[in-house]
A and B are shown apart, each in its own frame.
Chain A
């Protein structure tokens, strides 16, 4: 995973709440067996509408999605994160995220930054004033800046550290190989086993 620290780019306002992962990427696109190339699938239903924010020239090449509350609820599909990333987003801002979506983002280097709802609205107002303006999401200082406005965001310390360092989870876990093996040696006989087939 590539390290993440300061992201600067066009902010796209998505003024909707409860954006579930079925809206981010409909199920028909989950049949692919690759991990990239999902940019065409992002918000596929909504992108049929020429007025949709990501179809507006001012927001072309957007890097930061500024969304309403409860972004990424529903299905566990990591494809939602891949689609956002493939489209070019490096950060998503919301006042509340679906838990699994937030976890998936952290694994893929997409910064899911949690802000106060009132601060999201201030950012929307700033972007409305000047559509297409750039915004900076700074993981070092945990702040979002647009024009003269600077507001804080929260992210758990561990995810922040992993993003800043660009660390791979499996590699980190395998440092505890001895503890895993020890745990397995104490596992009770009644616990489930799928093999041999019964």
Chain B
């Protein structure tokens, strides 16, 4: 290692938040700029504070929203599930007692915590963001260091606004080339996870780089960073650029006036130095990428939609092989079946991965003027109340309803089925969410992870499909096309 070695983006943000540099194997103490809170992973943390007689150190750096348990129908009625209601009530009481800002069900700023932060302009480059939710990695799309934490750490941040942490290793994920129409950010990240595996990112911060990433909109970048955790990484980042600044400017909590000028000047320095060295590097070709889909029960078990269900007997690693065999059994799939012959019972369009306005526009651009397949249930769940309002102003709700799909209120919904939005046992779903784990969307439910465009084409045809398979190819709206 030479003295002239530069720093990666991740190292720069880390160094700017060092409260205490750890010595003799002790972790660094890192300052946290923004703490996002929701109802599921916070009750025991607030309880801990109460028992120790500690206040929330910085309520002004903390914000809470209700998302995981909330119903997406009849939101003006009391929540029917009593345990869900108790958890929501607990958050409301805790927010009141500790002076934490909360956006409750029915509030115009309510929604999935990872949609709300960026929408309010609270997520910005060069900050540290944590939340008791592994998909906090989403916020890294702005060039922030953002990662999920457990409930003990939630309590720790509430009490001290810091976290003791060992530095992460760094991995560059370089995606060069131009995505073909119909191929999106979701396909990039599913292909990355299939390439490096669900454990490939363990211990790393991933930095997504290359022309294909630069050409993505902020919302496309969020989709990619969101699923960093599915590759085992704590965080994913994209260096901020003009696309980032344009997205942020004018949002309610974005810096303004002189603060804006100072911030942008600093943000422009948040690039990985040319002389920096990553601990690992991965390359992906965007030109040849096709719409991607998972066949198994972890997000690394994916193939191009034009391929077949893999044959486990061809897998050399015994652990991987038995894992694949078990996955096919759970998914009720036969090796070598073309993916496009797989019929689905449901389509879920939503989650912190794909529920922002551009995702809804992309979905709507495919289904517009069409009818859904008869035997398929289609649910569209905006990521936040604001996204829902914006979509309605554009007539997307009407397109969704004319298509025969359900237009719902905002929340995590069927991504993890903590509310009534669940698959029945044995039901198969094409889902724009992030996890195809056994039972994730409902006990016995079977999940295929896809992009909004594939979800839409699948809802029309009833079998896993890309927009390329439709009789009349639609004029696609994608996040990649928008940034040009």
Q: Which residues of A are in contact with B by a Cβ distance under 8 Å? A: 16-18, 20, 22-23, 26-28, 30-35, 45, 68-70, 73-79, 81, 96-100, 103-104, 107-108, 156-158, 169-170, 172-174, 176, 179-180, 183-184, 187-195, 197-198
Contact = CB atoms under 8 A, between A and B. Distances in A.
B177 interface: no
B251 to A, nearest CB: 9
A156 B26 CA distance: 10
A189 B440 CA distance: 42
A77 B435 CA distance: 14
Interface stretch (B79-87, B182-190, B307-315, B449-457): B79-87
Contacts of A156: 25, 166
B160 interface: yes
Given A184-B161, A198-B252, 9 more contacts: A23-B439, A31-B81, A31-B86, A73-B232, A99-B234, A173-B164, A179-B20, A189-B259, A192-B121
A74 B202 contact: no
Given A22-B435, A170-B155, A179-B20, A30 B40 contact: yes
Contact of B199 (A31, A73, A78): A73
Interface of B: 19-20, 22, 25-27, 29, 31, 33-34, 40-41, 43-44, 47, 52, 54, 59-63, 68-69, 81, 83-84, 86-87, 90, 101, 120-124, 127, 132-134, 148-153, 155-156, 159-162, 164, 166, 198-199, 202-203, 229-230, 232-234, 252-253, 255, 259-260, 262-263, 266, 298, 319-320, 322-323, 326, 416-418, 435, 437-440, 443
A23 B41 contact: no
B232 A27 contact: no
Pick the 6 closest A-B CB pairs, nearest first. A107-B152, A104-B150, A78-B150, A190-B263, A190-B255, A33-B43
A27 B20 contact: no
Nearest to B160: A173
Given A31-B418, A193-B61, A173 B162 contact: yes
B298 A103 contact: no
Nearest to A35: B44
Nearest to A192: B122
Contacts of A188: 259, 262-263, 266
A45 B166 CA distance: 34
B276 to A, nearest CB: 22
Contacts of B232: 70, 73, 98-99
Contacts of B417: 27-28
B46 to A, nearest CB: 9
B63 to A, nearest CB: 4
A193 to B, nearest CB: 5
A28 B439 CA distance: 10
A45 B330 CA distance: 12
B83 A32 contact: yes
Given A191-B127, A192-B34, A158 B25 contact: yes
Given A26-B443, A76-B134, A157-B25, A191 B86 contact: no
A186 B326 CA distance: 54
Contacts of B199: 18, 69-70, 73, 96
A73 to B, nearest CB: 6
Contacts of B61: 192-194
A172 B229 CA distance: 28
Contacts of A179: 19-20, 29
Nearest to A176: B20
A103 B232 CA distance: 13
A107 B150 contact: yes
A156 B165 CA distance: 12
Nearest to A196: B60
Contacts of B255: 189-190
A68 B319 contact: yes
Contacts of A20: 298, 435, 437
A93 to B, nearest CB: 15
Given A158-B25, A158-B27, A180-B19, A78 B164 contact: no
18 contacts: A16-B326, A17-B323, A20-B298, A22-B438, A73-B298, A76-B41, A76-B132, A78-B41, A98-B232, A99-B234, A100-B149, A100-B234, A190-B263, A191-B127, A192-B34, A192-B127, A194-B63, A194-B122
B259 A190 contact: yes
Contacts of B47: 33, 35
B96 to A, nearest CB: 14
B148 A192 contact: no
Contacts of B87: 31-33
B253 A73 contact: no
Contacts of A17: 319-320, 322-323
Contact of B323 (A18, A158, A192): A18
A98 B148 CA distance: 12
A117 B41 CA distance: 32
A17 B317 CA distance: 12
Nearest to A46: B438
A23 B437 CA distance: 8
A147 to B, nearest CB: 24
A176 B19 contact: yes
A188 B253 CA distance: 14
Contact of B134 (A26, A68, A100, A189): A100
Contact of B26 (A23, A35, A158, A190): A158
A45 B438 CA distance: 9
Contacts of A23: 437-439
